Structure 1
Amino acid sequence: MDEFDLTGRTAVVTGGSRGIGRAIAHGLAEAGADVAPLSRSREDVATVAAEVEERGRDSTVATCDVTEADDVREAFDAVRDALGPIDVVVNNAGVNPDGALGRPEDVSDDDFGFVEDVNLGGAFTCARVAAEDLHERGGSVVNVASVGGLVGLPRQHPYVASKHGLVGLTKSMALDWAPDVRVNCVAPGYVVTDLTEDLAENETLAASIRERTPLDRFAEPEEIAGPVVFLASDAASYVTGTTLVADGGWTAR
């Protein structure tokens, strides 16, 4: 369908060097977009940029710490210089470090703040930095949250708070930026990535997740890229302020 065609558009993907972000960069490129994957690792970004170019699209190498507004501005300016104005921002950068896991009284202020700064504050900063381009070009923001943004998860309080916040931010930003810019969210379930490697290798926990999931498996990163491409494209031209859940039915129970 032509509505899914992103030819002539420039997309930025934060956390774009691995896992879900890498798959999203590939998916956007296959839909026709020029894609700038961003992360703090120049080497990893260069690898994904080359993979975008192998798919026949333009890319560029830029690094970015989403918790630093000046760093974000510099990276987005580099993307504009290389690829042109920004049409799509995918806020995928996210963390859930070991220090932020545990009962509420076990999580330090620093660990709580770090997770919020990356997962929620980073998305807000990146969207604001791209705002002028997005409004001029009728652009789209896609925030990558989690099922942890819809339900509670024990021992993951900073992560759950940040992802609930991202779902709420999506709604409020969609209201303020309509009708020029659409803002939506994807909430993945359990996906096979570096972040879930330990979980997937724990046979008891992995089995309990699969048992609760009607599709009886973890997702592959590419299965999250499809919903993001949809929301970024004209196929979702009447969709804003919503959260698309891609969890194999995990939250349906």
Structure 2
Amino acid sequence: MSTTSAVPSPPSVCTDSTLTVAGQEVAVRVYGSKPAGQVLPLVVHFHGGAFVSGDLDNGCTVASLLEGAGARVVSVAYPLSPFPQPLETGYAVLQWAYKQRTRLAGAGAQVYLAGEEAGGNLAAGVALMARDQSHPPLAGQILLSPMLDPCVGTPSLRAATGTATACKWADGWLKFLGCTRDAEHPYAVPGAAQRLAGLPPTLVLVGSDDPMHDEALAYAARLEAAGLSVTRHVFNQAQQWPDALLQPGTRACPCADEVQEQFRRFFADSRCRPSP
């Protein structure tokens, strides 16, 4: 499996701005431009950082790969904790993006959610919110090594942490979940949601030695068992996932070409579905 590009991708075109949504100011970074006469996928993206760190710079690798796959991307600087603030911010930006979809990505642009690690949790949670509110319609959700299990006890996570006594994911869950009852809320812990019907098509990407490997594939299996459309892919040479996804520059991301190809295929398959 190649980890370098035969033809380098063009540098990302991005613009930082601040939105006022739901009575709060939210920093966003918009990637790409809308070519005249074309309609692009529009993706609302959430960076990783285990709910203990992370910002728009940490999200630039995945956002740039989404842009390179043909999307217009709105990356969100969400508050890291506690629940439900990050979800409420994410949903407010999603509503804004949907209203602005024609200006951002063209008439009839389909809207997606995407996120890596902690951002994958938020993408999955915001997708549940959009389903329950019956708005806005989503064409899909893209989850890269999503952080979905607050028990932090899966075999893949234990193998990754080894004998270490500190665990940033455990620390992140403690910060994100303000109280024990929050862990029972499906928006906070989508991996434990009891009702999955009505969610959009899902792309799940993990590495073979990924700490999030088991919880991500368990969620994919539950979505599939609920009769939903799911595409999953495991990268066998994706060392240092999910941390590599948070490093600026796609060269630092193993399997960057293959990740981008998965995005392209998912967008192409989604276009075969009726537009919202």
TM-score in terms of structure 2 length: 0.42
Instruction: Return the structure number with greater helix share.
Output: 1
Give the TM-score normalised by the residue count of structure 1.
0.45
Greater percentage in strand: 2
